[in-house]
Amino acid sequence: MEVRLDPLQHGGRPAFITRLALAGTLGANYGMYGPAFELCENQSREPGSEEYLNSEKYEIKDWDLERSDSLAPLIERLNSIRNQNPALQSDWSLRFHPVDNDQLIAFSKKQGDNEILVVVNLDVHNPQSGFIDYGPCTVHDLVSGGHYTWSGPRNYVELSPHKLPAHVFKVTAGLKSKAQA
pLDDT in tens, the chain (181 residues): 444 546 656 778 999 999 999 999 999 999 887 787 888 777 777 777 667 776 677 778 788 888 898 999 999 999 999 999 999 999 999 999 999 999 999 999 999 999 999 999 999 999 999 999 998 999 999 999 999 999 999 999 999 999 999 999 999 876 454 444 4
Q: Kindly report the CATH number that applies to the domain delimited by 7-174.
A: 2.60.40.1180
Domain ranges of the chain: 7-174
Alpha carbon distance 111, 149 (integer Å): 22
pTM: 0.87
Q: Which H helix or E strand runs over 19?
A: helix 12-26
Which residues contact residue 164 at a Cβ distance below 8 angstroms, ignoring those fewer than 6 apart?
17, 143, 144
